[in-house]
Amino acid sequence: MLDIPDPGKGLFDGINYKWNKEKTIGFTVLILASIADGIVEGYEFDGRKSFERKFGVDPISYAGSQSWLLAYKNHDVNQGFKSKYREWAGSPDLYHHLDDIRKFGYIGGGISLGIGIKGQNWKAIVIDMLIGAVVTSASKSMAMKWVRN
């Protein structure tokens, strides 16, 4: 029998990393939030004309550059909001819906991941943080590139 000496504790010893459904949900929601974030940021950077340029949508439409006018009577700011609901909820357009998705997605994904990492040691938590940084950064970058090209 060969007696191999113990080299000591390494960085990855004792990680005890576990994948669970909360992490699956959390990372999926973070990816969707990052895609929404990338589209919103790219859309803003592009002067909100991305979909007009790419797909020929009308400026006063769901994805148009003047979609905010959809909240007003006859698309005229001087006539006031269409309803109290529109005054409080804002414009029913792609920009605002994606903005809501990114906000709720980042919060919801973070909560789900927080539940998923419960009871894990700090090394496993660092791995999850690194995974989160990579998937959110890559998702946002790809979405931003898509909307601007």
d(CA 95, CA 36): 9
Is the distance from CB of 105 to CB of 36 less than 8 angstroms? Answer: yes
Is residue 69 included in any domain, yes or no?
Answer: no
Is residue 127 included in any domain, yes or no?
Answer: yes
Residue range 17-74, pLDDT digits in tens: 889 999 999 999 999 999 999 999 999 999 899 999 999 999 999 999 999 999 999 9
Residue 149: CB partners within 8 Å, gap ≥ 6? none
Phi and psi for 81 in degrees, rounded to 5?
Answer: -70, 155
Is residue 36 included in any domain, yes or no?
Answer: yes
Is residue 124 included in any domain, yes or no?
Answer: yes
Find the domain containing 44 and state its range.
21-56+95-148
Is the distance from CB of 90 to CB of 71 less than 8 angstroms? Answer: yes
For the whole model, what pTM was predicted? Answer: 0.84
